[in-house]
Amino acid sequence: MPSKGVRLVLSVFCVAMGSLWAQSEAVSARLAGTVLDADEAAVPGARVTLSSPDTGFRRQLISGVDGRYVFALIRPGLYELKVEKEGFHTYLRPSMVLAVGQSSNLDPRLEVGAITEVIEVAADAPLLNAGNANIGWEVSTKQVIELPLNLRNVFSLTLLNSSVNNGHEYQGLT
């Protein structure tokens, strides 16, 4: 049986790892969905690729037996989603913006045909975050450098977002 010191260190480590995981989810995006065919049946074994032409990022996975795929802990930015499966046209969704804290669901529909033919979705609805009401926002490097900060406190940058409310500061409470 481990000593009290070892158990204490392990406990602190587990708590710290949980906090780090929570922080990484708050500053990243998530994209999930189900690959479907024209009859809305799940398509297992489809190759799903998420890539960013701006950063060179590329992640590829295979949809599960239920057609599901999940891209977690994605850096916010501009992406394109490509879905390929033999016997179906290739699905391509370019210029997809994933924002900070966004958890979106996108269910690509594949049409029967040759994989060499590409169906590009150009006028699809924007990705919505229907899973939660959290709002994420990025502070640009230019804002950090050029905006005056009260007492040079970096936490003042959080007040740049209109959805942030710091009632204590505005009510004169300490």
**Per-residue pLDDT tens over the stretch 13-52:** 555 555 444 444 567 889 999 999 989 999 999 999 999 9
> Which residues does residue 69 pair with via DSSP β-bridges, in sequence order?
33
Tell me: the pLDDT tens digits for 118-138?
Answer: 666 665 555 655 566 566 667
Shortest CA distance to 44 belongs to which of 106, 87, 103? 87
Shortest CA distance to 158 belongs to which of 132, 138, 172? 138
H or E segment and range at residue 21: helix 4-26
- What predicted TM-score, i.e. pTM, was given to this entire model? 0.60
Shortest CA distance to 111 belongs to which of 125, 81, 90, 92? 90
Radius of gyration of the chain (CA): 22
In whole angstroms, what is the distance from residue 132 CA to residue 82 CA? 26
**Residue ranges of domains in the chain, CATH in brackets:** 29-120 (2.60.40.1120), 141-171 (no CATH)
> Which residues does residue 102 pair with via DSSP β-bridges, in sequence order?
none
